[in-house]
Amino acid sequence: MSSVQDRGVTLDSSLTFTEHIAELTGYSYFQLRRLRAICKYVSSSNFTSIVHAFVCSLLDYCNSLLAGLHKVCLAPLQFVLNAAARLIARLPRFSHISTFMAEQLRWLPLSDRIQFKVFILVIKAQCGLAPEYLSDLIPCPISATSLCPRRSSDPLNLFLPHVRTSIAQLGMLIENPVFGVLFLWQSVFEFTSFVTFVKEIT
């Protein structure tokens, strides 16, 4: 067996998620074709909510598993997001849509949506709002002589695993996307609470 499905996500033996992305892309386009038939009968605001419920929610479901994949691999899902935005805007198939997505819909590009999801998981873990198994993956720095946090470090600092080479670091980012976020956003924990974080980004 080269792949297995768990909780709606198809996992292949190499963790490339190629099969999962292909299935998700096909089903998302199916939903868009169905929604196209009703778009002229629904107000713009209501139709935006419908597209978000039937398409964007599919793209966001368990998307943190896709962290670390190259943008080329994620391109089919980005095309789906673009098509959904064009349907909302009533624009032709190949029209420019990124400005409308950013300024009107307030949608992030797909790769940023994935990073944002992992970002949220990390800060929730530090604020005590995430499941224990996630919090255990993101420990605070500890003293070399005891299991207590270092007094010199901020209580919201994170422990970054030490690696000797850039290749080892890349392997760590691919194997565990959480560590990828730790390297990308080492300044995230300037926020003292999840509520403060949400206020700063909204």
pLDDT in tens, 66-109: 988 999 999 999 999 999 999 999 999 889 999 999 999 999 99
With a cut of 80, say whether residue 180 has pLDDT above it: no
Across 160-172, average pLDDT? 49
Domain end (from 107, 136, 169): 107
Cα–Cα distances in angstroms (integers) from residue 38 to residues 34, 92, 104, 201, in the given order: 8, 17, 21, 34
Give yes or no: residues 131 and 181 share one domain: yes
The structure tokens listed for 41 are 């009968």
Are 99 and 118 found together in one domain?
no
Q: Which residue range(s) make up the domain with 191?
A: 114-201
Q: What is the pLDDT of residues 119-161, one digit of tens each?
A: 888 888 877 888 888 777 776 655 444 444 444 444 445 655 5
Same-domain check for residues 72 and 8:
yes
Number of domains in the chain: 2
**Does residue 30 surpass a pLDDT of 60?**
yes
| End-of-domain residue from the set 107, 134, 160 | 107
**Residues 178 and 122 grouped into a single domain:** yes
Largest CA distance in the chain: 68
Pair (101, 178) in one structural domain:
no
* Rg (the chain; Cα; Å): 20
Task: Assess whether 25 and 50 both reside in one domain.
Answer: yes
Shared-domain flag, residues 72 and 133: no
Rounded-to-integer distance, Cα 24 and Cα 54, Å: 12
154 and 192 housed in the same domain:
yes
Residue % of the chain over a pLDDT of 90 = 46
Check pLDDT > 60 for residue 175.
Answer: no
Looking at the structure, tell me whether residues 121 and 98 fall in a common domain. no
Same domain, yes or no, for 90 and 123?
A: no
Are residues 57 and 152 located together in one domain of the fold? no
93 and 146 belong to one structural domain: no
In this prediction, residue 52 has a pLDDT band, given cuts at 50, 70 and 90, of very high
Report which of residues 176 and 88 the model is more confident about: 88
> Which residues, in sequence order, are CB contacts of 51 under 8 Å at separation 6+?
32, 35, 84, 87, 88
Domain boundary among 84, 107, 130: 107
Q: What pLDDT was estimated at residue 2?
A: 83
